[in-house]
């Protein structure tokens, strides 16, 4: 069965498989491990050295450990620095060198998020030390409490964001003394107080904290409260304005976490930022499987045509060749006519396939269009003979054009054959391992090529009872009473049916396991895959690119 629906992933003439989106993010701050670090140095220049390292590891407000050591800089400490820090040459004379200290500090840091006050200074020294000593910088996430303080405190509250000012403002139990561990402890208290304050702006994840210093208006940040009631599960979400009009539709493995990212600086798309300014409510449709979420998203976009969804919403962007008309016609629409060839993601691809059919029709004028379009063998033999003739004549540009037209036709023919085969299968029930949870499988019901129902089943649960319940409640009609599935829905189903480990549970009808005729030719002539337009570089011979 997977062979019958094979190579859909390679189709260049179909619409986009999935709406682009950001990855789901959201590490709760209470689960984030922070290492707050402070360094004392011989100065701030590129040739200066570290004299002391102090660090505190915390998680969930609790101190997990501390790291503190003097470091022999290998160079005299100036009197000014000694007055400022209290660290003298005699204090570091017997201290370990940076070669001895750095590995221990990197081990202490581990995979934690690094925090520092004016982080650029401390991180700069640590990075340079790693380069000089031959260690790989672990590239941790970095939180700068200076930037966080600037974003969350007003001038009326604090005159500046120096560590001493903030520690006094927040009544830190340890005040900074220009010694590394004391300053790190003071920064811990400042960090916790800043996080508590930012909670009113719905900054609750590490990603929110990392982005909080950027210019996100408070009016936008406060809208993240719209996600509070949403489920932390797979499904579809809809952004709506004050009149209830749907502005945008998306899907995610975690609706709540994904929606919240729209109200942070992680969202950089200008049109989406404008959409967020109009949002007044968010509704969610939880779905048991990722496939069902994808199908629901496609259907809702087709139904509401949200103005901020750029993909999957414009029927004029999908083209079909109408085989019911005596003339060769290219029509636009989310679904094609009952007898059609397609879909084509662009008019140029559709016109290339039209040209292929038109040229073949000239040599077989006794055949009607539908019969000709359904005969890949005939078209391939006709076009290949023409290609070979053109190559022999060294008309490589013309040969390449014929190749591209044939590729456009065969790719569309393959998709149409697979979609029609799926539609003729009647009731189809299959199960496949889910990518979202271990020890679970997705059960999907498809009727005449349309998604009907789905469920997630844990290993050991009675599969038959769940399948019987899904089939009993799934909408089912005769094919003539169902509108044809939109192209992207059919593609999503065909892709899911290629999932490794997929198993058929029930099949009312037939689903041939052999390759479609068009697919056979694409296997025989692999050069046709992906060639819809000539990509020959100017000035280079095109002969080798069209020899098949």
Q: Note whether 242 and 173 are same-domain residues.
A: no
Q: Note whether 541 and 450 are same-domain residues.
A: no
- Does the residue 515 lie in any domain? no
Reported as type and span, the H/E element at residue 51 is: strand 50-59
**H helices, E strands: number in the chain:** 20, 15
3-class secondary structure, 203:
coil
Averaged pLDDT for residues 526-531: 50
DSSP state of 97: B
> Which of 175, 203, 231 corresponds to the end of one domain?
203
Averaged pLDDT for residues 409-432: 84
Does the N-terminal peptide bond of residue 343 adopt cis geometry, omega within 30 degrees of 0? Answer: yes
Backbone angles phi, psi at 55, to 5 degrees: -150, 145
Residue 461 pLDDT > 70: yes
> Which of 269, 304, 339 corresponds to the end of one domain?
304
As given in the structure block, the two tokens for residue 528 are: 């046709």
As given in the structure block, the two tokens for residue 458 are: 């844990």
**Which residue(s) pair with 114 in the sheet?**
35, 142
Q: Note whether 83 and 139 are same-domain residues.
A: yes
Given a contact cutoff of 8 angstroms between Cβ atoms, the answer to whether 491 and 17 are in contact is yes
Tell me the pLDDT of the chain averaged across its residues: 81
Q: Which of 419, 513, 490 is nearest to 1 (CA)?
A: 513
- How many structural domains does the chain have? 4
Residue length, the chain?
Answer: 548
- Does the residue 389 lie in any domain? yes
CATH of the domain at 56: 3.30.420.10
| pLDDT tens by residue, 170-223 | 999 999 999 999 999 999 999 999 999 888 767 788 877 887 766 667 778 778
- Does the residue 377 lie in any domain? yes
Taking every pair of Cα atoms in the chain, the longest distance, rounded to a whole number of angstroms, is 103
Residue 40 pLDDT > 90: yes
Q: Note whether 183 and 222 are same-domain residues.
A: no
Q: Note whether 286 and 360 are same-domain residues.
A: no
Domain membership of residue 288 as a residue range: 215-304
| pLDDT tens by residue, 232-283 | 888 999 999 999 999 999 999 889 888 988 887 667 778 888 899 899 999 9
- Does the residue 5 lie in any domain? no
Query: Comparing 73-82, 215-224, 382-391, 420-429, which segment has the lowest mean pLDDT?
Result: 215-224
Q: Note whether 435 and 408 are same-domain residues.
A: no
As given in the structure block, the two tokens for residue 532 are: 């819809």
Q: Which residue matches tokens 């360094």?
A: 39
At 82, is the pLDDT very low, low, confident or very high (cuts 50, 70, 90)? very high
Q: Note whether 365 and 398 are same-domain residues.
A: yes
> Which of 155, 175, 203 corresponds to the end of one domain?
203
Q: Note whether 460 and 381 are same-domain residues.
A: no
- Does the residue 24 lie in any domain? no
Which residues does the annotation mark as catalytic? 178
Given a contact cutoff of 8 angstroms between Cβ atoms, the answer to whether 205 and 25 are in contact is yes
Higher pLDDT, 28 or 102: 102
Q: How far apart are CA 321 and CA 355, in angstroms?
A: 11
Q: How far apart are CA 86 and CA 456, in angstroms?
A: 64
pLDDT at 523: 53
Residue 539 pLDDT > 50: no
- Does the residue 502 lie in any domain? yes
């Amino acid at each position: 069965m997977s062979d019958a629906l094979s190579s859909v992933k390679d189709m260049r003439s179909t619409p986009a498989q999935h709406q682009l989106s950001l990855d789901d993010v959201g590490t709760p701050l209470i689960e984030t491990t922070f290492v707050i670090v402070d360094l004392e140095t011989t100065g701030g220049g590129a040739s200066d050295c570290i004299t002391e390292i102090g660090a505190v590891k915390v998680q969930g407000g609790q101190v997990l450990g501390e790291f503190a050591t003097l470091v022999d800089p290998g160079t005299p400490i100036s009197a000014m620095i000694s007055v400022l820090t209290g660290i003298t040459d005699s204090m570091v004379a017997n201290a370990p060198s940076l070669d001895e200290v750095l590995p221990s500090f990197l081990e202490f840091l581990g995979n934690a998020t690094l925090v520092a006050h004016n982080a650029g200074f401390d991180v700069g020294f640590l990075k340079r030390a790693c380069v000089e000593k031959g260690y790989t910088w672990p590239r941790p996430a970095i939180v700068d409490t200076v930037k966080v303080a600037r974003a969350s405190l007003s001038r009326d509250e604090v005159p500046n964001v120096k560590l001493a000012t903030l520690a006094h403002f927040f009544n830190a139990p340890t005040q900074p003394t220009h010694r590394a561990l004391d300053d790190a402890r003071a920064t811990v208290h400042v960090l916790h107080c800043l996080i508590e304050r930012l909670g009113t702006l719905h900054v609750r994840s590490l990603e929110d904290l990392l982005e909080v210093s950027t210019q996100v208006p408070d009016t936008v940040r406060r809208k993240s409260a719209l996600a509070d009631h949403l489920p932390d599960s797979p499904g579809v979400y809809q952004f709506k304005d004050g009149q209830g009009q749907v502005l945008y539709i998306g899907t995610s493995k975690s609706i709540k976490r994904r929606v919240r990212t729209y109200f942070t600086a992680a969202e950089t798309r200008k049109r989406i930022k404008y959409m967020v300014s109009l949002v007044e409510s968010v509704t969610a449709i939880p779905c048991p499987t990722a496939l069902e979420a994808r199908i629901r998203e496609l259907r809702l976009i087709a139904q509401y045509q949200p103005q901020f969804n750029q993909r999957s919403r414009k029927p004029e962007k999908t083209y079909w060749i109408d085989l019911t008309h005596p003339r060769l016609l290219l029509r636009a629409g989310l679904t094609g006519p009952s007898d059609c060839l397609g879909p084509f993601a662009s008019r140029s691809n559709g016109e290339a396939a039209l040209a292929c059919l038109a040229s073949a029709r000239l040599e077989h004028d006794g055949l009607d269009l539908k019969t000709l379009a359904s005969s890949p063998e005939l078209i391939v033999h006709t076009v290949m003979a023409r290609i070979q003739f053109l190559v022999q004549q060294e008309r490589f540009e013309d040969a390449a054009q014929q190749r591209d037209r044939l590729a456009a036709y065969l790719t569309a023919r393959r998709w149409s054959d697979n979609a029609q085969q799926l539609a003729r299968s009647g009731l189809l029930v299959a199960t496949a391992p889910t990518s979202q949870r271990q020890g679970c499988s997705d059960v999907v019901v498809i009727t005449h090529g349309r998604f009907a129902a789905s469920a997630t089943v844990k290993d050991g649960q009675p599969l038959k009872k769940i399948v019987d319940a899904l089939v009993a409640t799934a909408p089912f009609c005769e094919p003539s009473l169902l509108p044809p599935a939109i192209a992207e829905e059919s593609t999503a189903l065909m892709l899911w049916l290629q999932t490794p480990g997929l198993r058929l549970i029930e099949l009312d009808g037939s689903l041939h396991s052999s390759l479609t005729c068009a697919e056979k030719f694409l296997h025989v002539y692999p050069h046709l895959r992906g060639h819809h337009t000539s990509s020959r570089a100017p000035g280079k011979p095109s002969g080798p690119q069209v020899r098949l």
